[in-house]
Structures are given as structure tokens and as C-alpha cells.
Amino acid sequence: MKKIIFLFLFFTAATPVYAQRDISDDTTNSVEEQSIRTSMEQGPDVTYEQILADPDNLSLNMRYAQTQIRNGDIKGASGTLERMMILMPDNMNIKLLYAAVLYRLDDIPEAKTVLDGINENRMSAQKISEKRTLENLIRRREKKYTLVSRTALGVAYDTNRNAFPDSSQIVYPSGGILKLNGGKEDDFSMLGMFSADYELKAGKSGKNSFFLGGSYYISRQDTANNLNMDILSGKTGFRFNGQKTAVIPQIVYSALWLDGHSYINTAGISLRTDRMVDSKNTVYAEGRLQKQDYINYLDNTGNNDRDGLITTASLGWKTIPASNMSLDSAFLYTGRNAEKKYYASDAFGGYINHFWLLGRKKYLISSLSFSEEKYRDVNVLESDFLGSSRTDQIFRGSLNLGLPLPEKLVGRNISFNLSYEYFHNHSSMKIYSYTNNKITGILTCRFEI
């Protein structure tokens, strides 16, 4: 039983690492894109009839262009702003909004020309900041290649790091009673991560690309040293972008060490397709096939009983409900095969992630996920207690607050994240039912060439 509990601790400890990376991989671009979108779409709605009634009203025309952008009529907004620039060629705010519209229309050369004609001496500090953000986005879009690295250091606190069950006395359907010694143990851990992502644009328009990336994650516990982890992961693939459809095949790999021992190697392939429905909605589907190889070692000679293929399928939807928000949700299936059938399982679930730009580069990421995992067979060692195959229901909720640090003190490439996570596993085998609360603070330095 101790070995089973030990393995369960590892899986529940490792899962948040991947979940957090999926949410925050493109956070820097998301913040800048959303800040530009917010500035473009703010203001009350204005109708065309109002414009006809007062065609020379500059403020009214600006709000009408922003209304068109909110409604997804980017080309219409372009025409409105072109007319305004003829009437008011020296208005820098009109030029800035027009450059942002051109960027949304992928007319990068013309957007650069308009930005070059803007006189910052005649703009507010906020508009100058928006101009610099748009220039950064255009600079990234123009590059033939990008190389982005991140170095992160942080600390985490868990209220129940040893995953002690919710009850110390467990009564099973068979009538068996298990009394557990000890109790919940909290623990601190030091975290570190380094990642690098390379992207090379290809094709005449530069929309397609080849990408290669990897990361190394490390955590060291204060007291629960048997849960010290090292995770090496990598990916490579292609991104094919059509007018409304993107196709992304890739190869993925990861290796994990637990308490200094090589524990598991995973390699596989995936295929993802994104389809843009309109300017604010995208649907996507992804399939992934991976082979997991578990490594035996002195304290766990039966670890390779878990070897097998994992199949994952997801169907999701991304939407932009407001200029400063985005929503990502998906339904998931995971089928896990194993040498021993009582380690094989089928899981159905889903998640929803909400990104909210709070202003001045502050953001909040909220995430909820739920899954139900049913194991395909019963371990003979557990059958007296369980009576049937094991079923787990896993709930996870988290909040991640991104806070900008003063640029004058640390520069614009350093940020701080504070996150909270609630995790609960309800299992038909009560020894696996437990709850944990986790608080994490991470300082990240981002470098791009």
C-alpha cells in the first residue's frame, strides 16, 4: 500500500506543472495583444445614422470606428479612419488607431508607415505606451525568426503535501477498516524553470513556421525530499496557417526524475487544428498519442507495470467576450493503457480558462477543471477494500495574478506571478481522497531576440 500511495503523490504533484505552462505559455503576447484590443474597442456604441446626422463630429466618428471594430468590421473601420485622416491629418490619436487597425488586417508595411508619421510630442503618456506596444508587436511579426527564453525562480507552499486522506479512519464497502497514523503535513518548496522557444517563419507570406522548444523544471521540498522533482520537456513541429484554419503537427518528449531517480520517459506525437469562426470565436480539436516508459529502481521494482500508450483527444472553443478578456474551454478524453490492467484507465473531463487584462499590464488568469477517471480492473491487493474498480473524481481551481514590476528598477522583461490553487480528489477507494491548497510566487525574466 505504501508504494501505491507514493506513486499517487507523484502524479498529483506533477500535474500542476503542465497545467500552468499550458495557460501561461503565451501570456506576454496575450497581454500586449489584449491591451491594443482594449484601446481599439473602448467607448459606447455609435450608429451610422448618428454619423449622418453629425458627419463632422470627430469624437463621434472615432467612437463609430471603435464600434465597427467591436462588431468585427475591421475593414469598415479602416475606411472610416482613412476619411478621418483626410479631414484631420495632424491628429495623432486617429493615426494610432488606424495603425492598430492595419496591424489587425495584416498590412504590416502600411502600419509601420503610419506609426513612423506619429509625433510622440503631441500625445499623452498612455498613447505613447500604446504606440510602443504596437511597435513591439509589429517587430515580432516582421522577424524571420524569434528566440524567446524565460528564467523563473519562486517558492510554493502546500497545506497537504503528503496527500493525507480526508479521514484518518476509512471504512470500505467490504467492511474492512483502515486506521492511518499521522496527519496532513504542510511543506515549502523552491521552484526554478528555464525554457527556450525558437520559431522560424517560412513561406512567401511568412505565416507558416517551424518551431522548436524545451524547458527544464526543478522543485526542491523543504521536508518531503522524496517528492523533489526534475522535469525535462521538449517539442518540435510545424504551424501551417491558412486564411481561417491553422494546422499544427508536432513531436513531444518529456523525462521526469523523482528524488534523484529516473522515473518516467514520455514521447509522442500530436495534431491540432484551429478554425476561426469569426473575429472573436475560434474552435479547435487536438489528438495526441504518447508512449510512457516507467523505470524500475530499488524502492520500486514494479514501476514498469505502468508502461503503455496514452491517447488524448480534446475539442475546444476560444472566444473574446470583451476587449480585455478571453475565454478558453474544452472537453477532454484520456485513455491510459498499462502492462497491468489495474493501472489502465479512461478519463472524461473538461476545463475553462479565463484571461482578464486588468490594466497597466496586470492580468488575472482563472481556471477550473474537472475529470472523472475510471480504472479498468481491480488490483488484487486492493480488492478486499474496494470491491470494484477504482473511480476518481478530480476538481481543480486556480487563480494566477500577473503583476508588473517598476520598469525603472528592474526593466520591462521581469514580471511577478502570484497564484493560488485548490485541488480535491474524491476516490471510491477512500485512501486516495484528499484535499490540498497551494500558494505560489514566481519571478520571471523574459529575453527575446
Gap between the Cα atoms of 220 and 10, Å rounded: 13
- Compute the chain's Rg from CA coordinates: 26
List per-residue pLDDT tens for the chain, 449 residues long: 343 333 333 333 333 333 333 333 445 555 666 666 666 767 778 888 888 888 778 888 888 888 888 777 888 888 888 888 888 888 888 888 888 888 888 788 888 888 888 888 878 887 887 888 888 888 877 778 889 999 999 999 999 998 888 887 776 666 667 777 878 999 999 999 999 999 998 866 567 899 999 999 999 999 988 889 999 999 999 999 887 899 999 999 999 998 888 999 999 999 999 998 987 899 999 999 999 999 987 667 778 888 999 999 999 999 988 778 889 999 999 999 998 888 899 999 999 999 998 877 789 999 999 999 999 887 766 555 555 678 999 999 999 999 877 766 656 678 899 999 999 999 887 888 999 999 999 999 988 88
Q: What φ, ψ does residue 378 adopt, rounded to 5°? A: -110, 130
Please name the residues in contact with 121: beta carbons below 8 A apart, sequence gap of 6 or more. Answer: none
Gap between the Cα atoms of 112 and 106, Å rounded: 11
Whether this prediction's pTM lies above 0.95 is answered by no
- Which pLDDT score is estimated for 449? 81
The CATH classification of domain 144-448, taken from the options 1.10.1060, 2.60.40, 1.10.287, 2.40.160: 2.40.160
Residue 208 near residue 179 (C-beta atoms within 8 A): no
Residue 305 near residue 338 (C-beta atoms within 8 A): yes
Residue 448 near residue 169 (C-beta atoms within 8 A): no
328's grid cell: 478558453
329's grid cell: 474551454
C-alpha of 165 from chain center: 30
Fold of the 42-142 domain? 1.25.40
Where exactly are the structural domains of the chain?
42-142, 144-448
Gap between the Cα atoms of 81 and 315, Å rounded: 38
Q: What φ, ψ does residue 294 adopt, rounded to 5°? A: -95, 145
Environment class of residue 123 by beta-carbon count within 10 Å: exposed (0-12), middle (13-18) or buried (19+)?
middle
